[in-house]
């Protein structure tokens, strides 16, 4: 057996050593070339790897996938199934180690996988390692300042080279762009510019999110409203729009060089994972299909809620409602038409009474109870005193007058 561990189409066997007969031969009875089937690796091809695309072959020895793991898998060989959270395990945890809270997704380790952010690690930087371009490329003795330096995952903004892009000298306009690979509802974009030039080279800064690679649409942040002076590095641009291409342009002369530059150290484009929304992507929306993305700000689903959920952002479980009478439970009309059970309030009867109130329609005041003990806890449903009443009163909430009859 000969072990190779390499990829190739042609197998060649050569020989240039003379034998005793002073001739050189290749004299074979059979050559069998063994490969592992797609999705397997190891000496006996008995180990499984779950690569991004079903057709990707992982490394025959390490199991490493060429373009990353399938959605639900992680680990060097992409064979560790990621833990999940949420109702019916709808969401994938993106913790770097350990498990996440089964309801909220918050990681026990408080650390996210590379490329994921936020307190529940559901905010993804979709620009990381994607295809980039720029209008021209600056070069000097320290090398070329390539466009992909702005998506290499290194946010260092004090260095001039190896991790920051730089367009060439002597230009009257400059631009840089990234292709996210697909259209995303972009929540916000974080930009790290070079410390030395954050003010002068961002003077004409404009940012576009577009479905096509064009920059004739309205920019996310109009140039005239953008003030780069005293801007801290790693600043966020809010967009709340959908697009596949992010383009940053500049056509303002950078004094005193009279050239125009785009000079970026990192551009992070944040998108909430499918089924999450909100500034930190911690709110959950249960849309009809588990692949539906809801609005990154409002949480509204594109079609309707998943069965069993209701509310504007489809995050209210029908069985969690406390309707007084059975009510249909569909998106936007899942309100409790006949009102709530005592102790509950809101359109969907999922909110407890305000503190200090209880009972039917939450209008009974806890202060009016006649509990024997001061500051007794007040149950939202029945206002129970959890103990004795003051003389002359009875009932769970000690609100009924008790007339004692004489002996
Ligand atoms: Ca960088």
- What average pLDDT does this structure show over 153-178? 90
Q: How many CA atoms lie within 13 A of 397 on its CB side?
A: 17
Same domain, 241 and 138: yes
Considering the chain, what percentage of its residues have pLDDT values greater than 90? 46
Q: Is the pLDDT of residue 226 over 60?
A: no
From 272, 301, 316, the end of a domain falls on 272
Region 33-59: what's the mean pLDDT?
Answer: 92
User: What CA–CA distance (Å, rounded) separates 178 from 165?
Assistant: 12
The residues pairing with 305 across neighbouring beta strands, listed in sequence order, are 287
Residue with the larger pLDDT of the pair 51 and 6: 51
- CA 264 / ligand 1 centre spacing (Å): 8
Per-residue pLDDT, 405:
67
Q: Name the least confident of 145-154, 186-195, 352-361, 391-400.
A: 186-195
Distance 175 CA to ligand 1 centre (A): 17
For ligand 1, the distance from its centroid to the CA atom of residue 223, given in whole angstroms, is 24
Is the domain of 256 the same as that of 155? yes
Contacts of 97 (CB under 8 A, 6+ apart): 109, 111
Q: What is the pLDDT of residue 229?
A: 62
pLDDT over 70 at 113, yes or no: yes
Under DSSP, the state recorded for 353 is P
CA of 157 to the centre of ligand 1 (A): 8
Average pLDDT over residues 222-228: 56
CB 202 within 8 A of CB 228: yes
Report how far apart the first and last C-alpha atoms of the chain are (Å, whole number).
107
The reported pLDDT for the residue numbered 57 is: 92
| pLDDT at residue 180, as a whole number | 95
How far, in Å, is the centroid of ligand 1 from the Cα of 189?
14
Tell me, yes or no, whether 243 lies in a domain. yes
Three-state DSSP state, 369: coil
pLDDT, residue 374, reads 82
Q: How far is the CA of 108 from the centre of ligand 1 (A)?
A: 29
Contacts of 53 (CB under 8 A, 6+ apart): 67
Percent of the chain with pLDDT over 70: 93
Q: What's the pLDDT tens digit per position in 294-313?
A: 988 889 999 989 999 999 89
Distance between Cα 159 and ligand 1 center (Å): 10
Find the 153 Cα to ligand 1 centroid distance in Å.
Answer: 6
35 CA distance to ligand 1 middle (Å):
38
Domain of 407?
353-407
Number of structural domains (the chain) is 2
Whether residue 403 contacts residue 394, with contact meaning beta carbons closer than 8 Å, is answered with no
Question: Is the predicted pLDDT of residue 185 greater than 70, yes or no?
Answer: yes
255 Cβ partners below 8 Å, 6+ apart?
A: 200
| The pLDDT value given to residue 370 | 92
Distance 111 CA to ligand 1 centre (A): 21
Res 285 pLDDT > 60: yes
Measure 164 CA to ligand 1 centroid, in angstroms: 5
266 & 149 share domain: yes
CB neighbours of 266 closer than 8 A, spacing ≥ 6? 150, 151, 152, 153, 154, 155, 157, 163, 190, 191, 192
Mean predicted lDDT score pLDDT of the chain: 87
How many CA atoms within 13 Å lie on the side-chain side of 146?
Answer: 10
The mean pLDDT value for 246-272 works out to: 87
CA of 155 to the centre of ligand 1 (A): 5
Based on the domain organization, do 164 and 267 belong to the same domain? yes
**CATH number, domain containing residue 246:** 2.60.120.260
Kindly give the distance from the C-alpha atom of residue 197 to the centroid of ligand 1, in angstroms, as a whole number.
15
Of the pLDDT bands very low, low, confident and very high (cuts 50, 70, 90), residue 404 is low
The answer to whether residues 363 and 234 belong to one domain is: no
- Mean pLDDT confidence for 351-367: 95
Is residue 137 located within the same domain as residue 232? yes
The helix (run of H) or strand (run of E) holding residue 243 is strand 235-250
Return the pLDDT at 95: 86
Distance between Cα 261 and ligand 1 center (Å): 17
Tell me the backbone φ, ψ of residue 318, rounded to 5 degrees: -55, -40
115 pLDDT more than 90: no
From ligand 1's centre to the CA of 149, what distance in Å? 5
- Strand segments, DSSP code E, in 150-234 are 174-193, 206-210
In a domain, 239, yes or no: yes
How far does the centroid of ligand 1 lie from the alpha carbon of residue 381, in Å?
56
Q: What is the pLDDT of residues 48-100, one digit of tens each?
A: 999 988 899 999 889 999 888 888 888 889 998 888 999 989 999 988 876 78
Please identify, among 272, 303, 326, the residue that sits at the C-terminal boundary of a domain: 272
Judged by phi (left if over 0) then psi (alpha if -120 to 50, else beta), residue 251 lies in: alpha
Q: What is the pLDDT of residue 371?
A: 92
Tell me, in angstroms, the distance from the centre of ligand 1 to residue 211's CA.
24
What is the mean pLDDT of the segment spanning 241-268? 86
User: Which of 87, 115, 81, 114 shows the shortest CA–CA distance to 99?
Assistant: 81
Q: What is the largest CA-CA distance in the chain?
A: 133
Confidence (pLDDT) at 17: 79
Distances (CA, A) of 390 to 64, 366, 370, 385: 73, 14, 6, 10
pTM: 0.70
User: Is 370 found in the same domain as 255?
Assistant: no
Residue 154 counted as domain residue: yes
Q: Is the pLDDT of residue 188 over 90?
A: no
* Band of residue 137 on the pLDDT scale cut at 50, 70, 90: very high
C-alpha 151 – ligand 1 centre gap (Å): 6
* Residues 242 and 150 reside in one and the same domain: yes
DSSP helix/strand/coil, 345: strand
Within-domain flag for 152? yes
CA distances from 315 to 32, 87, 106, 347 (A): 58, 10, 17, 13
**Secondary structure (DSSP) of 321-337:** --BSS-----TTT-S-T
* Nearest alpha-carbon partner for 249 in 133, 163, 158, 143: 133
Q: Report the half-sphere exposure of 207 (CA within 13 A, side-chain side).
A: 23
Q: Is the pLDDT of residue 321 over 60?
A: yes
**Do 149 and 264 fall within a single domain?**
yes
Question: Which of 216, 246, 272 is the last residue in one of the domains?
Answer: 272
Rounded Cα gap, residues 249 and 255, in angstroms: 17
In a domain, 263, yes or no: yes
User: Rounded distance, CA 258 to CA 250, Å?
Assistant: 13
pLDDT of 225 higher than 70: no
Residues 6+ positions from 390 with CB-CB distance below 8 Å:
370, 371, 372, 398
pLDDT category of residue 122 using cuts at 50, 70 and 90: very high
Grouping H, G, I as helix, E, B as strand and the rest as coil, residue 368 is helix
pLDDT of residue 136: 96
| Angle, vertex CA 85, rays to CA 74 and CA 123, nearest 5 | 65
73 φ, ψ (degrees, to nearest 5): -120, 155
């Amino acid at each position: 057996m000969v072990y190779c561990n390499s990829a190739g189409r042609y197998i060649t066997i050569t020989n240039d050593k003379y034998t005793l007969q002073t001739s050189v031969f290749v004299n074979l009875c059979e050559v069998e070339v063994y490969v592992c089937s797609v999705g397997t690796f190891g000496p006996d091809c008995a180990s499984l790897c779950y690569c991004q695309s079903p057709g990707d072959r992982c490394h025959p020895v390490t199991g490493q996938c060429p373009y990353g793991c399938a959605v639900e898998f992680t680990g060097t060989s992409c064979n560790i199934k990621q833990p999940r959270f949420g109702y019916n395990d709808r969401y994938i945890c993106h913790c770097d180690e350990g498990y996440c809270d089964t309801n909220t997704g918050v990681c026990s380790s408080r650390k996210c996988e590379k490329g994921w952010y936020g307190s529940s690690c559901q905010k993804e930087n979709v620009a990381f390692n994607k295809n980039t371009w720029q209008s021209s490329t600056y070069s000097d003795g320290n090398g070329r300042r390539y466009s992909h330096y702005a998506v290499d995952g290194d946010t260092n903004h004090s260095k001039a080279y190896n991790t920051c892009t730089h367009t060439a000298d002597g230009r009257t306009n400059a631009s840089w762009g990234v292709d996210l690979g697909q259209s995303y509802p972009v929540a916000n974009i974080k930009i790290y510019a070079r410390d030395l030039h954050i003010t002068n080279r961002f003077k004409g800064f404009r940012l576009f999110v577009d479905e096509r690679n064009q920059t004739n649409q309205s920019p996310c942040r109009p140039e005239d409203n953008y003030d780069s002076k005293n801007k801290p590095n790693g600043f966020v641009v809010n967009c709340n729009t959908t697009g596949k291409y992010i383009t940053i342009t500049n056509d303002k002369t950078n004094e005193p060089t009279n050239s125009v530059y785009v000079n970026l150290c990192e551009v992070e484009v944040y998108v909430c994972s499918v089924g999450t929304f909100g500034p930190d992507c911690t709110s959950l929306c249960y849309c009809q299909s588990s692949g539906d993305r809801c609005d990154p700000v409002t949480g509204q689903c594109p079609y309707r809620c998943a069965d069993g959920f209701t509310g504007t952002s489809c995050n209210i479980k029908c069985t969690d409602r406390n309707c007084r009478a059975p009510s249909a439970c569909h998106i936007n009309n899942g309100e409790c038409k006949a009102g709530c059970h005592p102790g509950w309030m809101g359109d969907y009867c999922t909110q407890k009474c305000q503190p200090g109130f209880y009972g039917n329609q939450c209008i009974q005041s806890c202060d009016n109870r006649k509990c024997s003990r001061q500051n007794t806890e007040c149950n939202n449903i029945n206002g129970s005193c959890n103990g004795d009443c003051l003389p002359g009163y009875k009932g769970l909430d000690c609100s009924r007058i008790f007339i004692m009859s004489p002996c």
